[in-house]
Amino acid sequence: MSTGSHDAVEVIGAKRDKHELSDSQIEWVIDAYTKGTVADEQMSALAMAILLNGMDRRELTTWTHAMIASGERMDFSGLSRPTADKHSTGGVGDKVTLPLAPLVAACGVAVPQLSGRGLGHTGGTLDKLESIPGWRAQLSNDEMMRQLEEVGAVICAAGDGLAPADKKLYALRDVTGTVEAIPLIASSIMSKKIAEGTGALVLDVKVGTGAFMKDLARAHELAEVMVALGNDAGVKTYAAITDMSTPLGRTAGNAIEVTESVEVLAGGGPADVVELTLQLARDMLTGAGREGVDPADKLADGSAMDAWKAMIRAQDGDPDAELPVAKESHVVNAPSSGVLTRLDAMAVGLAAWRLGAGRARKEDPVQAGAGVVWHARPGDEVTEGSPLFTLLTDEPERFDRALESLEGGYDLAPTGTPFTPAPLIHDRLR
């Protein structure tokens, strides 16, 4: 098909033959694909050519800005405080957004956190929050602006108006084997985040068995590309490369992760979740020009918890309500005494998904109470017969497949075996 000064076959052929695409070719193909002039099969061919042959920084910047230009841009310049946002590439037990947004708000920086739902073994922030009675994910732009001014934090669903080209391309990549292309991952994430209009952005790029990126070098490459895209667009962008070979905290599910997040806001919670939440908060505050505020103080004095309750109430949720509890539970006991030396994030994530905490297709429902609780973390000593995991679901027929996921998902070494944990934060890019 052709329209204007270019046609799809020409653009596909150029990238297939390892040429750089011109700015006008990129702007044309994104616009034409968004409007339906370029067909899915043609964009599939181009995506595969990009996967195989890459893009340089100019191409990628132009591609990202063309995706932004396909929709609306939000503007928070009218707010009385600076803005900062965070994006995680997704993991298992990664509930950090929940305590992080109100914590940063308590430090005087507004957090417009547009989040998504879970798919496969990685959990979705909106699914977790929807386990709170009454809470709603859909807000109008006016509601969002008012909440940012009055409360300082919003976690909600992104509207259809932000980077609609990305929405089409994202669905296509999923079914054409092109999800792994770093230029397409980076432009997908950054087009939405730049269109969102925040002044500072912190990226949490996960690496390890339970992450999208399994390899540290590729995670580093993705982080560098996204930081460059953000800074080129005038958004102060930092990145942390964090471990996802072991799941975060002690829970993977929806309601159970909300409970753990509230424990963090109350000044407790698992050490790894607290460490990562505080580090990302400090980077967000630095990006927003508020380095002088220590977020740890806001956990200690209760103001982060106050901001959480105000944020949930503003979206019609009841922060004091009882959360859903799964109807059935199954305990997995330690087969022997020893030191837990490995707990595989992918195994735990798959088990939680099979118990009903996640979905296989985006239209599938999720169970609020389903998930996995692990009672030991790598480095902990366990005794034979003590609880290692508790599996939770409303449908007991799901237990068998979840147990299959956990087989081979952990290692026990003899008692007294020395253990050195992997670092939680591998690197930071500023």
pLDDT in tens, the chain (430 residues): 344 589 999 999 999 999 999 999 999 999 999 999 999 999 999 999 999 999 999 999 999 999 999 999 999 999 999 999 999 998 999 999 999 999 999 999 999 999 887 766 777 899 999 999 999 999 999 999 999 999 999 999 987 788 899 988 988 887 888 888 999 999 999 999 999 999 999 999 999 999 989 999 999 999 999 999 999 999 999 999 999 999 999 999 999 999 999 999 999 999 999 999 999 999 999 999 999 899 999 999 999 999 999 999 999 999 999 999 999 999 999 999 999 999 999 999 999 999 999 887 777 789 999 999 999 999 999 999 999 999 999 999 999 999 999 999 999 999 999 999 999 999 999 8
User: What is the DSSP pairing of strand 251-253 with strand 328-333?
Assistant: unpaired
Catalytic residue among 94, 166, 204, 272: 166
Active site residue 405: no
Instruction: Assess whether 196 and 271 both reside in one domain.
Output: yes
pLDDT at 161: 85
| Residue 196 falls inside a structural domain | yes
Catalytic residue among 65, 192, 250, 282: 192
> Read out DSSP for 26-92?
HHHHHHHHHHTSS-HHHHHHHHHHHHHH---HHHHHHHHHHHHHTS-----TTSSS-BEEEEE---S
Instruction: Assess whether 341 and 253 both reside in one domain.
Output: no
Instruction: Assess whether 339 and 307 both reside in one domain.
Output: no
How far is 280 from 206, CA to CA, in rounded Å? 13
Catalytic residue among 65, 86, 87, 95: 87
Query: What's the CATH code of the domain at 208?
Result: 3.40.1030.10
Instruction: Assess whether 339 and 306 both reside in one domain.
Output: no
Q: Which residue's structure tokens are 């033959």?
A: 17
Query: What's the CATH code of the domain at 23?
Result: 1.20.970.10
Active site residue 188: yes
Instruction: Assess whether 376 and 402 both reside in one domain.
Output: yes
Q: How many domains does the chain have?
A: 3
| Residue 23 falls inside a structural domain | yes
Active site residue 330: no
Instruction: For residue 382, list its beta bridge partners.
Output: 338
Active site residue 359: no
How far is 190 from 201, CA to CA, in rounded Å? 10
Instruction: Assess whether 112 and 206 both reside in one domain.
Output: yes
How far is 253 from 93, CA to CA, in rounded Å? 7
With H, G, I as helix, E, B as strand and everything else as coil, classify residue 198: coil
How far is 355 from 255, CA to CA, in rounded Å? 13
Instruction: Assess whether 207 and 91 both reside in one domain.
Output: yes
| Six-digit token string for 70 | 């396909």
Instruction: Assess whether 234 and 138 both reside in one domain.
Output: yes
| Residue 70 falls inside a structural domain | no
State the Cα torsion 274-125-43-363 to the nearest 10°.
150
pLDDT at 4: 56
| Residue 276 falls inside a structural domain | yes
Active site residue 173: yes
Query: What's the CATH code of the domain at 372?
Result: 3.90.1170.30
Give the angle subtended at the CA of 384 by the CAs of 381 and 389, to the nearest 5°: 75
Helices 97-106 and 271-287, axial angle in degrees (round to 10): 50
With H, G, I as helix, E, B as strand and everything else as coil, classify residue 206: strand
Instruction: Assess whether 363 and 225 both reside in one domain.
Output: no
Instruction: Assess whether 296 and 390 both reside in one domain.
Output: no
Instruction: Assess whether 152 and 213 both reside in one domain.
Output: yes
- What pTM does this model have? 0.93
| Residue 179 falls inside a structural domain | no
Catalytic residue among 70, 115, 187, 188: 188
Catalytic residue among 167, 173, 236, 298: 173
Element of type H or E holding 417: none
Largest Cα–Cα separation, the chain: 71
| Residue 216 falls inside a structural domain | yes
| Six-digit token string for 229 | 């895209």
Nearest to 405 by CA among 367, 356, 337: 356
- Domain housing 223: 84-160+189-314
| Residue 232 falls inside a structural domain | yes
CA 7 to chain centre: 36
Instruction: Assess whether 128 and 226 both reside in one domain.
Output: yes
How far is 25 from 290, CA to CA, in rounded Å? 41
| Residue 69 falls inside a structural domain | no
